Structure 1
Amino acid sequence: MSIERKPGPGPSPLMPFAVAGAALLALAGGGAFFYATAKRQSGSTSDLVKVEVGAKACRPNELTLPAGRHTFEIHNASDRPVEWEILDGIMVLEERENIIPGLRQTLAANLKPGQYQITCGLLSNPRGKLTVTPSAASEAAAKTGPELKAFIGPLSEYKVFLALQGASLVTATEKLVAALKAGDLDEARALYVSARAPYRQAEATAMRWADLQTAIDPIADYLEDREKDSHFTGYHRLEYGLFVENTTAPLIPIAEKLLTDVNELKARLRAVKLAPDDVPGGAARLSRRLADGKIESGENAYAHSDLDDLDASLTGITRMAGLVRPLIPESSADLSHELDTRLKAARQSLEALKSGKDYAAYDKVDAPSRRTIAETFRALADTLDKVSNRLAPG
């Protein structure tokens, strides 16, 4: 049954002004939301430690701060995407990746007294210095010390997990080397994707060693001469050769060097000493690192196998979360439920992009879908931070 509709009154002459006013209100609301979010993350804008990354160095290039929690605002003043890291020797303490030219990103870090280095844009650039001096809060924390008893089981199980991933990584890389030596391009392409899975599952710990990360997984955008740079090695150099240059023989020495590096990583994963926060805190840092950089920008620019990588990373994060979940007190059952919900949402955001058993090529995944994945990983990072804080020694 159809209903005849009489034409209503025409649009009011004031309508354009109403629409414009609504738009201004929306912009104002969005600006207020952004400001509130930034303030919530950093405490206040005056508390930010501001660092500008130029083409060749950071400004300032040397920083001195008291021990404790600080929020850094990194401004990319160069014409290339950059990453900014705080290093303790070869160990990566904190990092922020894929900072777009002209934009600013924040990074929060809880710093202990000591001498550190900061990376300043391209991997070839000289490093800056960060000096952290003792404070009353840091001395009190040092006297208290962490309670290890409750973490003995989870840390032991995670060590076994890391050892297994290290062994799998070496085995998978050996198969990739064999395929390259046999000149089997199709097999080598298939093995490239599977060979990265153990690395990504152990990534929360593997990314701590800056020297191996630079050798195993550098991205061309962070190198001065991009794909032509002599430091373009490891997985992504193989990816470029397999999926762009369509070659195998020239990649053999690169793959053999990668095999040497992953054997070293295997040894370090077996020997690593873990602290209580390395499990929940490490999972939180990796989730945020992915959400703030690799998910929306993409990483596998030639094979477009990013969803397989993210699947492996989430598997590792889920394993870590599962180890510490039993430690959450019954009084915080809502936090346990929140953690389960966040893990499920992150998994579903990936599964939605599967066709049968295979993930879609990442260059076919549009920006809104990538943003959805990033948001689920960011929410997961927020919850894992809550878990880390809840399990911190009192």
Structure 2
Amino acid sequence: MTTPHHDTPSATQQPRDKAPSALVPWALGLALLLVLAGLALFYYATRTATGPQRGSIHKVVVGDSSCEPADFKLPAGLTTFEIHNASRRPLEWEILDGVMVVAERENIAPGFHSLLTVKLRPGSFAITCGLLSNPRGTLEVTPTTSSEAERLRPPLQSFIGPLSEQRVFLIMQGNAMEREAQALAAAVEAGDLDAARAHWLAARLPYKRIEAVAGRFADLESRIDPQADYLQGREEDPGFTGFHRLEKALFEQHTLDGLAPVAQQLAEDAGQLKGRIRALQQKPEDLAGSALWQAERLRDGALEHGQNPYAQSDLADLQANLEGMAKSVLLLGELLQGASAELATRVRADFDGLDKALQSLQVNGAFPAYREIAPAQRAELDRRLEQLAQGIAQVNPALGLE
């Protein structure tokens, strides 16, 4: 009789208990260390850094019954207080204007610190030092030039009138420039040299009145009013276009030959400039800012050397520049009078002084060629322009626009 054969289960079929891997305790330990390290870093961070620090930094240590220091005398402006809780209880630290909370930090735990950044305005304030029963500290904020300008700053709606009037002025001058540029192109096409010269001079004046704005459009300016000295090939450079290319032919070469495309391009560019000015949205600070830009530009060699070497019409250009600058700045006159009457009087007097100095150079009611203006006379114009620029530079800060 044959003994039955029982198959022995294979190794893969035999049940067995899986022993835990030796790496598991290590992994758990590492995870625990990471958690502890994270908590430690969090604890350290909360004790040492709680926010951005801006402006001047002033440390305050709050104890169980008082602050150190308890009293501050600070200038107006952006300030950061670093508040350390050296007491045994959570605390809050507040700046109070009467019963109103100006700024505060709450729930600062014992041993911790917090940062409070606030823009201080002039006045006298109280400071809570921990418990409400503790004596209060004081904060005396003194005025600064900036805070006074901000306090006196007119509301934005006050600038609507000046900005609107300036916009109308710019549009009208842009229209006048385009009209005269088109007439210039027609005179060139007709072969009328005298009429072309007259319209060149007439187109130049409205451009100069709005140059403080128009000169910011670099692409158009490089076609309308490029100076030969700034071009690689000077007068022979292909980029020598616009007013000065026409000026050389009309006033030095006495010819209209080849000018028709140049004059037509000037008329088209004047049209583009008019369109951009119509679409331009100026800000209150642009009124004085553009005039200051123009004044500094004129002082950068324009008065010393002149800009119209062929027509010699630089004094007429300067008068037009001055008219445009005066328009934009003196539109702010009423607002400036309220903010700084002294500055308003000074700026107006400086405009008048430069205008009178300019008019004194006329001969029989007309400006002479710029080459006839002596270096000392040019230096006097530059001195007066510098004085005017210094006054204009103070207008925006006085109105709180910076």
Query: Does 1:362 pair with 2:370?
Result: yes
Residue of structure 1 in register with 2:361 after alignment: 353
Residue of structure 1 in register with 2:53 after alignment: none
Q: Is the 8 A contact 1:173 1:195 kept in 2?
A: yes
CA offset at residue 352 of structure 1? 1.1
- Consecutive unaligned residues of structure 2, counting only runs of 5 or more, are 1-116, 118-145
Residue of structure 1 in register with 2:226 after alignment: 218
CA offset at residue 306 of structure 1? 0.3
Residues matched between the structures, number: 253
CA offset at residue 153 of structure 1? 1.1
Alignment of 1:1-394 (within 5 A): 148-330=156-338, 332-393=340-401
Query: Using the alignment, how far apart are the partners of 2:339 and 2:273 within structure 1?
Result: 39
Identity of aligned residues (%): 40
Which residue type is aligned with residue 219 of structure 2?
D
CA offset at residue 393 of structure 1? 3.6
Query: Using the alignment, how far apart are the partners of 1:333 and 1:343 within structure 2?
Result: 16
Which residue type is aligned with residue 287 of structure 1?
A
Deviations 1:268-290, CA, capped at 9 Å, x for gaps: 01110101111011111111211
Q: Is the 8 A contact 1:292 1:374 kept in 2?
A: no
Q: Is the 8 A contact 2:284 2:401 kept in 1?
A: no
Deviations 1:300-340, CA, capped at 9 Å, x for gaps: 01110000101111111111122111111435211111011
Which entry has the higher C-alpha Rg, 1 or 2?
2
CA offset at residue 292 of structure 1? 2.5
CA offset at residue 244 of structure 1? 1.7
Q: Is the 8 A contact 1:147 1:393 kept in 2?
A: no
CA separation of 1:331 and 1:226: change in aligned 2, threshold 3 A? closer
The 3-state SS of whatever aligns with 1:250 is coil
The 3-state SS of whatever aligns with 1:248 is coil
Q: Is the 8 A contact 1:284 1:381 kept in 2?
A: yes
Which residue type is aligned with residue 285 of structure 2?
D
Which residue type is aligned with residue 166 of structure 1?
G
The 3-state SS of whatever aligns with 1:268 is helix
Deviations 1:54-92, CA, capped at 9 Å, x for gaps: xxxxxxxxxxxxxxxxxxxxxxxxxxxxxxxxxxxxxxx
The 3-state SS of whatever aligns with 1:243 is helix
Residue of structure 2 in register with 1:117 after alignment: none
The 3-state SS of whatever aligns with 2:239 is coil
Q: Is the 8 A contact 2:339 2:399 kept in 1?
A: no
Q: Is the 8 A contact 1:277 1:392 kept in 2?
A: no
The 3-state SS of whatever aligns with 1:355 is coil
Query: Using the alignment, how far apart are the partners of 2:376 and 2:393 within structure 1?
Result: 26
Normalising by the residue count of structure 2, what TM-score does the alignment of the two structures yield?
Answer: 0.60
Residue of structure 1 in register with 2:98 after alignment: none
Q: Is the 8 A contact 1:223 1:229 kept in 2?
A: yes
Query: Using the alignment, how far apart are the partners of 1:359 and 1:266 within structure 2?
Result: 28
Query: Using the alignment, how far apart are the partners of 2:257 and 2:186 within structure 1?
Result: 11
CA offset at residue 392 of structure 1? 2.6
Tell me which stretches of 4 or more aligned residues in structure 1 moved more than 4 Å: none
Q: Is the 8 A contact 1:291 1:375 kept in 2?
A: no
Query: Using the alignment, how far apart are the partners of 1:348 and 1:302 within structure 2?
Result: 26
